[in-house]
Structure 1
């Protein structure tokens, strides 16, 4: 019986049988596709390295202590002090009873471990760990240790209990004898599960105590001094090709000097890898750039070990003696520069050297006689002093290549995706022929949807790109979809972009210095953000070669800049007056001179600051508040002029004049006197997350009144300061919500079709596989949902769904859901 085909778009093909004698021939119903993806059958795409996607770990958001590092005790060595953060002291996180005094004298445990606790008579200590308490599981075993010495035999009773005193384990008794430091150990077994447990140590006698530690026996891979299992497993599940560590701004900030007795063991020094290896009780703690103390219990040895455990390439980043992240200082000490260069060479020996070498022996003594196979390292991070950084980079690179010519040395391009520093450093790297250049940027979803082709035009013969930090500035599904669309462009340009890693990896929900982040956690739970789910989908389905394709279909047009006008300040008090919005013909669209004594036409956007009408002007009087934005009228016209007078009255910065404010939170603002009154910029973003469109040096004088004008014509904006053009830009990039890439997994014999549809309507798509013979079914994984949704501790609504679908052929049509990422793994025949 003849069969007549009928295609059901978005589902399996259905074959309908009709007797010819009963029904006339029926033509197939044609559905006009919104998009067409066509594989080029004659072209060979770029090979994709195993290192294409990795993870970026920085000790930010308490990602190490209280996070990935499994130690449960906070401030275990009594080293916290006011340098770390306001209010910190030697007994931070401890409650003490009786005579317990933090002491620093020549009886200390180690020259690098300066403080210890002297207890006399009946004394008690209680530690609540991080977040709300220590997390313990029923039947779990927890290894306790303490370094101690005693004038006479002293008894220690160690226990686990709730805040109310209910026991959570049978107590452990230790007897301290002898006036030399010795490590005492024991194990507590939890009798119940709790996330608010306390560790208590009761002393009877006179003793000195240090390094009081409690570790879960069940660490990742059971390693001593190991990692929190659920967090490590989530990272391992990504199957990263590399681990970049230990930062980030953590690397190249702080005081650039060595940690020695000669300089009285300074705090707030730069991150130095030698501080972080060897026995944990000899590692020196340090102020963390992000506002807390770092124990260095998670150090370079543990980073290398973890990279090896998850099959990832280690990629350490070392300071170039030029600070970044807003500090902007460069060393002029030649001896210190030589020391840091030698430290870098010593690191390579630590990672790769034989156990007979000086630093190879340190590694071997720590339990790893075999090398860690370090192949790549970075010098510096986001330095915004390009000349000083480049001079130092060349010194580091020359020394490394002279001794280890096969090591890939990664340079960088500053803190943003464009601007003078970026252009300057890229020009230097191209001319020099650097191995690889590290780019960083955090931008709005629209930027990622507008810049899918960023790397199409990069020089194929120039340095390769390491996209070391990137993220769309929020944690909702729409941000993840924008990132996914962008990642198709990274893969398409795998010959240029050789490595990429998302923004900070971990965030403790109760201690956040930066977001968005990939994995969130508290003291006993962890969950992946929507970006974690998208990153995992890409990282688990990379393939090893790009299959060249073309896309045709719907093209969106750039949108004119309309929306609300606003005013704001940043740690600055200011006065605004004579606010007016007019059309080009002079028609007044909005006006407020505040002479009526009120600001009825204005509403607070951020609920910050102290706004009031004073003497016929709108004033904001706080100088310690960031982003005090208020919004005036919403402008629907596409062509308009926004004018006002602005006066700084006190504070650190200048003016923030907003326009194009949308209900979604997206806006533009003209930032004058930003960055501690050193720079002006046009920024575009969502709420507090912004990308820089235009930057230039600028400062604002306190007490001086400035005439400001923002002239908007569709997508083009021109800015005037006191009647003189200050700058202009045209935000006319086309948003591309539909993106795709096809890769091949030669090991499994599969094509991987990856489609992102970051818009509110489904995308009917014709897929032409260039005549390839393929199986009729495929494995499909889809991530979709409300674009404003996010994953939280209480619910993870955005998760991948995997199924088997039919209707696959050399040419077939599918409907990709609105706001979705879809991967099809198709077997070739």
Structure 2
């Protein structure tokens, strides 16, 4: 508010708004004309960014409820509240009237605001006040921020998955509720008719960026659209539509396909054409659900698959295996996809770099048949050179396993530095700048030089694998009990040393809700069986058994009652990042005594509940290979593309043999990203960036020779693109 209480009264009213989908509007009662009496909006992160000479579109709806014309002034202001652009209007009607203008900023303001002040004593009402930059990506009126969209375009992505994440499936099943699931029909059409919604990430969405805009973005950057829809199920709160009431949800799914692909003679194809896009978007993929767990999803998913198969058999359907890399829900998700006839399964996991190194061959044994793998969300959990190089090495494995892995995309994609609730993120930004992380540069290298078909290549070396983190070191440490805001009693505690055969009884222990871990045994055996009884007497979030505890950032644990008291998980935490090795659904019941056993032997972890093996996981060896290498061919250009990652601390020189190159000469474009060149961005703490070096060479394969020698610098990513001369 601008002005004192006795100068201006602001009230938010409901009812006779411009659109009943957004029922609230603002009433201002002005007692007397003052220079500054009204309202202001500072936008996000403490101020709007205006750039000198740039144009900004303003619009609002206004009316005079008492029939007395009312003059008001709209202005862009800088940090000291001086106007840098302004326009005066007069509202004359008792009905809603749209008023518009275009401002040109007279100076650059980094902490600006939009101010609306009334110039006389009167009553006036406003609705849907909007300010939008005229300069957008591709010049679209309701388009995207130019620098951000250009950063996406530079990646040359093959597809874009949207809208992304838990906002797809977390919320009320009532499409008219303020906290409803993301329903695509609410996101198209006139902006005034798109109802504002809260989302899982705890901020408000106007839905001004909706499905139509997402489809346009994909078209503009040359990517295939991969929309994700809910399956009438919210796993966060166990909300689900009855099986007999799925028809509206299924029809909503079919209508989306018609909206994307139908011609103008269809209902939804004509709606798309009416929005300005006569030609179909050519959608090929459709995801049902995001990180789904629980029988509620698995019961409903087959109904969606059946309906889409019957009407649109050409659409490739993507299922879900949940938010973790293993465990019962993961396996059940895959089984559901197989039985339902899904084409692809969406896997998600965020792990420490060491996990990716240990699991480079995860997909080697997957079959070359549907359902295939879509790695829809993954990251090595830091915006650092170390993480980016690890991700690059893992991507060489994904490409080599393209018989099973058909799609992969890094996540999350975008983050405003003032609204951070997750790290890492590929692209960081504030109101003024865009920061492309080192992870972005790695993704760009791989996307820009992907190729179309895998080419066999052979690395010639006598070097073997190098252990980074031995199993013995990983298993060393103490044992603790810990309550997650819960008071838990532990009794009958027995620790058996599997190596010596010795067993010891430990005193009964109680943990409080203060989340302070209680030490059970220092320097515990590496191979052991821990038996105990546990009862939660206060609270509701369960407890954990920490083992191999070296410090708070390096330890393992058995989680019972995790994630809103819905999970049990075996976790290895490395460098502060938890790697969920196995996850099952499980809830701790208050005042129930559980008979529990944690068994650690070799690289196998087991959790037993009430005499039954409940979950298990394997600790894979953290060993680096001499070089991570993959090769492909671009069919359009016949270019050969080699991507190599050296994770070791010394340069690696080796011969590389390629097929069908004898007697040919190539222009070799070499791209190099080295960890030593990664630096923290001065405006984005904790985010490292890097410059990619480029050079050209001539490679000749004469006299029957089909190999070449290349030196790969320590801790680096190298891309070689061989062009026919």
Structure 1 length normalisation: TM-score? 0.77
For residue 11 of structure 2, what is the aligned residue in structure 1? Answer: 101
Distance 1:636 1:571, change over 3 A: closer
For residue 46 of structure 2, what is the aligned residue in structure 1? Answer: 132
Q: C-alpha offsets along residues 378-426 of structure 1, whole Å, 9 cap, x if unaligned?
A: 122222124x434422322332233333222222223322222322232
Contact in 2 for aligned 1:239/1:539 (Cα 8 Å): yes
For residue 396 of structure 1, what is the aligned residue in structure 2? Answer: 304
Task: Measure how far apart 1:683 and its partner are.
Answer: 0.8
Distance 1:638 1:96, change over 3 A: farther
For residue 696 of structure 2, what is the aligned residue in structure 1? Answer: 804
Contact in 1 for aligned 2:327/2:615 (Cα 8 Å): no
For residue 85 of structure 1, what is the aligned residue in structure 2? Answer: none
Task: Measure how far apart 1:370 and its partner are.
Answer: 2.2
Q: C-alpha offsets along residues 596-653 of structure 1, whole Å, 9 cap, x if unaligned?
A: xxxxxxxxxxxxxxxxxxxx9785543xx6xx66889985975567788977553222
Contact in 2 for aligned 1:441/1:471 (Cα 8 Å): yes
Map 1:50-61 → 2, pairs under 5 A: none
For residue 760 of structure 1, what is the aligned residue in structure 2? Answer: 649
Q: C-alpha offsets along residues 58-111 of structure 1, whole Å, 9 cap, x if unaligned?
A: xxxxxxxxxxxxxxxxxxxxxxxxxxxxxxxxx99xx99712211002x21111
Contact in 1 for aligned 2:329/2:584 (Cα 8 Å): no
Q: Aligned to 2:191, which of 280, 288, 301?
A: 280
Distance 1:790 1:640, change over 3 A: farther
For residue 25 of structure 2, what is the aligned residue in structure 1? Answer: 116
Contact in 2 for aligned 1:328/1:384 (Cα 8 Å): no
For residue 414 of structure 1, what is the aligned residue in structure 2? Answer: 322
Task: Measure how far apart 1:343 and its partner are.
Answer: 1.6
For residue 747 of structure 1, what is the aligned residue in structure 2? Answer: 636
Distance 1:466 1:189, change over 3 A: same
Q: C-alpha offsets along residues 162-190 of structure 1, whole Å, 9 cap, x if unaligned?
A: 343223x1321112221221211112221
In the aligned structure 2, how far is the partner of 1:97 from the partner of 1:293?
A: 30
For residue 328 of structure 1, what is the aligned residue in structure 2? Answer: 238
1:354 aligns with 2:267: no
Q: For 2:322, what is the secondary structure of its paired residue?
A: coil
1:669 aligns with 2:557: yes
For residue 294 of structure 2, what is the aligned residue in structure 1? Answer: 385
For residue 820 of structure 1, what is the aligned residue in structure 2? Answer: 716
For residue 658 of structure 2, what is the aligned residue in structure 1? Answer: 769
In the aligned structure 1, how far is the partner of 2:254 from the partner of 2:41?
A: 40
Contact in 2 for aligned 1:444/1:684 (Cα 8 Å): no
For residue 159 of structure 1, what is the aligned residue in structure 2? Answer: 75
Distance 1:786 1:723, change over 3 A: farther
Contact in 2 for aligned 1:142/1:187 (Cα 8 Å): yes
Distance 1:423 1:726, change over 3 A: closer
Q: C-alpha offsets along residues 740-781 of structure 1, whole Å, 9 cap, x if unaligned?
A: 101112333321111112233332322122461454652111
Q: Say which is worse superposed, 578-587 or 408-417, in terms of deviation.
A: 578-587
Q: C-alpha offsets along residues 581-600 of structure 1, whole Å, 9 cap, x if unaligned?
A: 979448999x998xxxxxxx
In the aligned structure 1, how far is the partner of 2:657 from the partner of 2:22?
A: 65
Map 1:82-231 → 2, pairs under 5 A: 98-105=8-15, 107-121=16-30, 122=33, 123-150=37-64, 151-167=67-83, 169-203=84-118, 204=120, 205-231=122-148
Map 1:491-530 → 2, pairs under 5 A: 491-530=399-438
Q: For 2:326, what is the secondary structure of its paired residue?
A: coil
Task: Measure how far apart 1:510 and its partner are.
Answer: 1.7
Contact in 1 for aligned 2:632/2:640 (Cα 8 Å): yes
Map 1:648-663 → 2, pairs under 5 A: 648=536, 650-661=538-549
Q: For 2:63, what is the secondary structure of its paired residue?
A: strand
Distance 1:724 1:242, change over 3 A: closer
In the aligned structure 1, how far is the partner of 2:517 from the partner of 2:458?
A: 44
Contact in 1 for aligned 2:226/2:285 (Cα 8 Å): yes
In the aligned structure 2, how far is the partner of 1:514 from the partner of 1:548?
A: 38
Q: C-alpha offsets along residues 454-486 of structure 1, whole Å, 9 cap, x if unaligned?
A: 222222133232222222233322222222112
Distance 1:432 1:674, change over 3 A: closer
Task: Measure how far apart 1:559 and its partner are.
Answer: 2.7
In the aligned structure 1, how far is the partner of 2:503 from the partner of 2:315?
A: 64
In the aligned structure 2, how far is the partner of 1:365 from the partner of 1:554?
A: 62
Distance 1:437 1:764, change over 3 A: same
Contact in 2 for aligned 1:481/1:820 (Cα 8 Å): yes
Q: C-alpha offsets along residues 112-159 of structure 1, whole Å, 9 cap, x if unaligned?
A: 120011112254101010112101111111111111122322112011
Task: Measure how far apart 1:663 and its partner are.
Answer: 6.9
In the aligned structure 2, how far is the partner of 1:98 from the partner of 1:149?
A: 17
Distance 1:297 1:153, change over 3 A: same
Map 1:430-469 → 2, pairs under 5 A: 430-469=338-377
Q: For 2:581, what is the secondary structure of its paired residue?
A: strand
In the aligned structure 2, how far is the partner of 1:319 from the partner of 1:96?
A: 49
For residue 48 of structure 1, what is the aligned residue in structure 2? Answer: none
In the aligned structure 2, how far is the partner of 1:370 from the partner of 1:479?
A: 42
In the aligned structure 2, how far is the partner of 1:144 from the partner of 1:522?
A: 22
Distance 1:196 1:620, change over 3 A: farther
Task: Measure how far apart 1:546 and its partner are.
Answer: 0.6
In the aligned structure 1, how far is the partner of 2:391 from the partner of 2:248?
A: 40
For residue 63 of structure 1, what is the aligned residue in structure 2? Answer: none
Distance 1:655 1:743, change over 3 A: same
Higher RCO (CA-CA < 8 Å; seq separation 6+): 1
For residue 793 of structure 1, what is the aligned residue in structure 2? Answer: 683
Map 1:464-503 → 2, pairs under 5 A: 464-503=372-411
Distance 1:797 1:514, change over 3 A: closer
Q: Say which is worse superposed, 476-485 or 236-245, in terms of deviation.
A: 476-485
Distance 1:414 1:585, change over 3 A: closer
In the aligned structure 2, how far is the partner of 1:361 from the partner of 1:724?
A: 58
In the aligned structure 1, how far is the partner of 2:330 from the partner of 2:613?
A: 24
Q: C-alpha offsets along residues 491-544 of structure 1, whole Å, 9 cap, x if unaligned?
A: 123233222111121112222233322111122112122221111110110011
In the aligned structure 2, how far is the partner of 1:280 from the partner of 1:724?
A: 56
Contact in 1 for aligned 2:498/2:601 (Cα 8 Å): no
In the aligned structure 1, how far is the partner of 2:563 from the partner of 2:48?
A: 40
Q: Aligned to 1:532, which of 432, 436, 440?
A: 440
Q: Aligned to 2:579, which of 675, 683, 691?
A: 691
Q: Say which is worse superposed, 747-756 or 409-418, in terms of deviation.
A: 409-418
Map 1:712-727 → 2, pairs under 5 A: 712-717=600-605
For residue 59 of structure 1, what is the aligned residue in structure 2? Answer: none
Contact in 1 for aligned 2:643/2:720 (Cα 8 Å): yes
In the aligned structure 1, how far is the partner of 2:340 from the partner of 2:179?
A: 34
Distance 1:782 1:664, change over 3 A: farther
Contact in 1 for aligned 2:316/2:342 (Cα 8 Å): no
In the aligned structure 2, how far is the partner of 1:786 from the partner of 1:669?
A: 34
In the aligned structure 2, how far is the partner of 1:580 from the partner of 1:733?
A: 26
In the aligned structure 1, how far is the partner of 2:301 from the partner of 2:343?
A: 12
Distance 1:348 1:777, change over 3 A: closer
In the aligned structure 2, how far is the partner of 1:757 from the partner of 1:814?
A: 12
Q: For 1:542, what is the secondary structure of its paired residue?
A: coil
Structure 2 length normalisation: TM-score? 0.87
In the aligned structure 2, how far is the partner of 1:566 from the partner of 1:507?
A: 37
In the aligned structure 1, how far is the partner of 2:334 from the partner of 2:272?
A: 36
1:562 aligns with 2:478: no
In the aligned structure 2, how far is the partner of 1:425 from the partner of 1:617?
A: 38
For residue 181 of structure 2, what is the aligned residue in structure 1? Answer: 270
In the aligned structure 1, how far is the partner of 2:589 from the partner of 2:173?
A: 33
In the aligned structure 2, how far is the partner of 1:540 from the partner of 1:118?
A: 53
